[in-house]
């Protein structure tokens, strides 16, 4: 249910970008693009609203495909409330990470970003740590054990961020990806794994 609501919300915002009037596009630029400068201006809500905003169809399609693939299972495992709390937290941390690296590493405090990629990266990390031997497709083509695939994504984002810092690279929010991934790692090791171990210990007493 939550995954469907997130999917629907992202599609609605994409439709506004695509079919909205110039005034609507101006509003979206001001309120759904996250940047260091935007935060400095006091528009703190962009940390969250940017997570539900996509301008390009391929960006929307990829993120929503991954969300539906991993999110549906994780929503059932975590239950709705915990799932949405984590998803929002990973998205906000991803937005913060983008703003931070664009300001201090890339020296581009005006650099805007949008999209669910940070939150999605967090979901991938949780899935990979829960089911490390399950197969996932790197770039949708190369089958790898989930944990290796997640580590490969992190490595590629670190490499991509270094390239951007040196003036090259692709227009990808590597900082947001890494922020979301870090959120997934912290959530797993400091909350989810201890809870799983407690449940196993309780079950062993019966």
- Please identify every residue annotated as catalytic: 117, 177
Structure letter (DSSP) for residue 140? T
Angle, to 10 degrees, between the axis of helix 2-19 and the axis of helix 57-66? 180
Whole-angstrom Cα distance, residue 58 to residue 136? 20
Let me know if 38 is exposed, middle or buried by CB neighbors in 10 A (0-12, 13-18, 19+).
Answer: buried
Whole-angstrom CA distances from 176 to 21, 77, 205 are: 29, 25, 43
3-class secondary-structure state, position 79:
coil
In 3D, which of 93, 118, 117, 123 has the Cα closest to residue 2? 123
3-class secondary-structure state, position 123:
helix
Look-up of token digits 């989810």 = 192
| CB neighbourhood size of 76 (10 A) | 11
């Amino acid at each position: 249910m939550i995954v469907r609501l997130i999917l629907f919300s992202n599609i609605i915002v994409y439709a506004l970008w695509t079919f909205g009037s110039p005034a609507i596009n101006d509003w979206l630029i001001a309120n759904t693009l996250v940047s260091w400068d935007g935060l400095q201006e006091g528009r703190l809500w962009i940390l969250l609203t940017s997570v539900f905003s996509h301008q390009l169809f391929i960006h929307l399609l990829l993120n929503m495909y991954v969300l539906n693939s991993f999110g549906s299972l994780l929503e059932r495992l975590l239950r709705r409330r915990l799932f949405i709390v984590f998803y929002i937290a990973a998205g906000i941390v991803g937005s913060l990470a983008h703003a931070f690296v664009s300001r201090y590493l890339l020296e581009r405090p005006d650099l805007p970003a949008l999209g669910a990629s940070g939150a999605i990266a967090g979901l991938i990390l949780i899935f990979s740590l829960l089911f490390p031997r399950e197969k996932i497709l790197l770039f949708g083509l190369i089958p790898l054990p989930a944990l290796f695939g997640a580590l490969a994504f992190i490595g590629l984002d670190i490499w991509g961020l270094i390239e951007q810092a040196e003036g090259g690279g692709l227009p990808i929010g590597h900082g947001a990806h890494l922020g979301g991934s870090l959120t997934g790692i912290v959530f797993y090791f400091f909350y989810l794994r201890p809870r799983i171990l407690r449940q196993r210990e309780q079950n062993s007493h019966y």
